[in-house]
Amino acid sequence: MNFPDLIQTVLIYALPVIFAITLHEAAHGYVAHRLGDNTAWMMGRVTLNPMPHIDPMGTIVIPAVLYVVTGGTFLFGYARPVPVNFGRLYHPKRDMIWVSLAGPAINFIQAFVWLLAFYLLNILGVTEAYFVKMALAGVVVNVSMFVFNLFPLPPLDGGRVLVGLLPWRQAVWLSKVEPYGMYIVLALVAFHALNDYWMGPLMKWTLFALSLLLSPLEFLLKP
């Protein structure tokens, strides 16, 4: 990929990625605050300012290097995790589920909004490629984050949801996997298992669900 194409891609994806990461992390902190834990709130992490959520290495350097090296075929990155003291929640085991689901839920909502924006651009006859590509990028970025974070392995959100749902003995066993969780995920990525058996199928189903939600609008647009 040449330099102008790289700059164009960065400009298209920058806004969707910033919103996706910022709202995802802020949602975790906000729900935790509502359910009894003020840790993230007191540390200024319940904010729409993206700077407190950016991890220089995980949010900028690693994705940029991978994009250049792989030509955009493989991307991986992460934000600064929002600190949550689950022991301070009103009902720790149950409320852990809601705190964990908050991030993926906000990504699903953002994907819906970006797809709606894409439809509205078509309705208004806007053909400017930059805006159309940005709307589609917003859909892809947020659907990817939604599906990836729901993978049922700690420290990902899906893993913590599963810990909250399992009986105590099984929950304790699964929570012990958390320090090694990201290494396991990276191994699954390296062997294409995560994409083939999780990301690919669930992203298709999520896109189908979003299209279904917007089907009344599509029906109204038919001549």
For the segment 154-197, what is each residue's pLDDT rounded down to a tens digit? 999 999 999 999 999 999 999 999 999 988 988 898 888 988 89
For the segment 196-220, what is each residue's pLDDT rounded down to a tens digit? 899 899 999 999 999 999 988 777 7
pLDDT surpassing 90 at residue 61: no
Q: Tell me what pLDDT residue 206 has.
A: 97
- How many whole angstroms separate alpha carbon 43 and alpha carbon 90? 20
Contact residues for 31 (Cβ-Cβ < 8 A; gap 6+): 98, 99, 102
Q: Tell me what pLDDT residue 55 has.
A: 85
Long-range contacts of 46-55, Cβ-Cβ distance < 8 Å, separation of 24 or more: 47/22, 48/22, 48/23, 49/22, 50/18, 50/21, 50/22, 52/80, 53/21, 53/22, 53/25, 53/26, 53/79, 53/80, 53/82, 54/21, 54/79, 54/80, 55/79, 55/80
User: Does residue 25 carry a catalytic annotation?
Assistant: yes
For the segment 110-145, what is each residue's pLDDT rounded down to a tens digit? 999 999 999 999 888 888 999 999 999 999 999 999
What's the half-sphere exposure (Cβ side, CA atoms, 13 Å) at 136? 8
Would you place residue 36 in the very low, low, confident or very high pLDDT band (cuts 50, 70, 90)? Answer: very high
pLDDT surpassing 90 at residue 3: no
